[in-house]
A and B are shown apart, each in its own frame.
Chain A
Amino acid sequence: MKRLVALLLATLLVAPALAVEPSEMLPDPALEGRAREIGRELRCVVCQNQSIDDSAAEVARDMRRAVRERLSAGDKDEQVFAYMVARYGDYVLLKPPFKAGTWALWLGGPLVLLVAGGALLIAARRRKLPVAPAPLSEEEQRRLAALLDR
C-alpha cells in the first residue's frame, strides 16, 4: 500500500504527460491505429481503471512501446494480447476473456433478461384479459342501425 502511494506520488510529480506521446507513435498510420485500438483494451497495471492508452504512468509507456514493437514485428492482435497476458495475467485485459471463471460475468446480464422475460411472458399468458368480444354479426349490425335510426 505504501509503495502504491509512493508510486502514485512519483507518477504525479514526475510524469503528468498525457498518455500517448508523439515520439512513441509508429510512422505507419494503419499499424499505429491498431496499436491505439489494442492500447484501449489493455489496463495500465499501476493506475486504477485506466487503459494504457489513457495513462501517463511509466509502466503504461513501456507497455505501449511493447505493443508497437510486437506489431512492427508482425504479430497479430491476439498475439499481442497473449504477450501481455503471459506477463500480467487476465488482469491486464479490460475486456475479460470468456472462460470458466468469467461465464457468470458474461452471461449474467442476458440470463437475467431471459429468465425474467420468460417468467413475465408465461405470467402474461396465464393471466390474459378475456379476448375482445366478437364483432357484431351482420344481423346484429342491422338491428343496431335500426335502433339508432329510431
Chain B
Amino acid sequence: MNRHLLFLLPLATLALMAGFFAWSLLAGRDPASIGSVLVGRPAPRLEVKALREAEPPLTDALLKSGKPVIVNFFASWCTPCLAEHPLFARLAERDGAVIIGIAWKNKPEEARAWLKRLGDPYKFAGADLEGRTGLDWGLSGVPETYLVDGQGIVRRHFRGPITERDVNETIMPFLKGAK
C-alpha cells in the first residue's frame, strides 16, 4: 500500500500545481502587479519643488495636517493620466478633497500648460523633474495615487489610473472615515 502511495505522488503534485494555476486564472491575478510595501506605513519623505511659480516647496508638514490627503503622481506625456484627470477635478471641487499633485519627469512648463488646459485640481503641486521623489515613494511609473491619512500613514496605493469605482468604493469612504 505504501508503495502505491508513492506512485500517486506525481499525480498529486500535478493536482496541486493545477490548482494554483486555476486559482490564478480564475482570480484574475495580474502577474505584472508589483504590489506596494508602503501601505500601513508612514508616508515617505516629501521634499519637492513647487510646480507653480512663486509657491513654497512642498514638505512633510502637508502630510501630517490631521486631514487626509491624496497624493497623485502625473505627467503631461502620460495618456492614462488624461483618463483619470476628471475624477480628481470632481474630487477637489465637489468633495473638497486635498490633492497633492506631483509632475513626474515632466518639464514644469509642459505640466503647467497641461493643467491650464484641463483644469487644476491640485491644492499643492510639485515638480519632480528627475524622479527622485518618485523613487522615494516607490513609484513604478505614472499615474500612481496614494491615500495618506491625517497621521501621515499611507492607507492605499493605486498603481495605474484610478477609476470611478475606486472613487466610490475606496476614496470616498477613506475621505469620510479618516476625517
Whether B34 lies near A87 (C-beta < 8 A) is no
Total chain B interface residues with beta-carbon distance under 8 A: 28
Chain-A contact segment, one of B18-26, B94-102, B134-142, B165-173: B134-142
B37: nearest chain-A partner, CB-CB: A89
**Chain A interface main SS type:** helix
1/0 per position for B126-163, CB-CB distance to A under 8 A? 00001110111111110100000000000000011100
A63 to B, closest residue via Cβ: B135
Contact of A48 among B32, B78, B130, B160 (CB under 8 A): B32
Q: Nearest B residue to A43 by beta-carbon distance?
A: B34
Q: Is the interface of B mostly helix, strand, loop or mixed?
A: loop
A-B contact count (CB 8 A): 62
Question: Which of A46, A59, A85, A88 contacts B131, CB < 8 Å?
Answer: A59
CB nearest neighbor in B for A62: B131
Chain B minimum-CB-distance residue to A4: B32
Asked if residues A62 and B32 are in contact (CB atoms below 8 Å), the reply is no
Interface centre among B38, B130, B138, B140 (most CB of A within 10 A): B140
Point out the residues of chain B lying under 8 angstroms from A4, CB to CB.
Answer: 32, 160
Contact mask A10-34 → B, CB, 8 Å, 1/0?
1000000000000000000000000
Closest-CB distance, A12 to chain B (whole angstroms): 14
| A45 touching B140, Cβ below 8 Å | yes
- Residues from chain A with Cβ under 8 Å of B65 in the complex: none
* B94-129 Cβ-contact flags toward A at 8 Å (1 or 0): 000000000001000000000000000000000000
**Complex Cα gap A59–B142 (Å):** 11
Chain B interface residues toward A at CB < 8 A = 30, 32, 34-38, 44, 77-80, 105, 130-132, 134-141, 143, 159-161
**Which A residues fall within an 8 A CB radius of B?**
1-4, 6-7, 10, 45-46, 48, 58-59, 62-63, 66, 85-89, 91
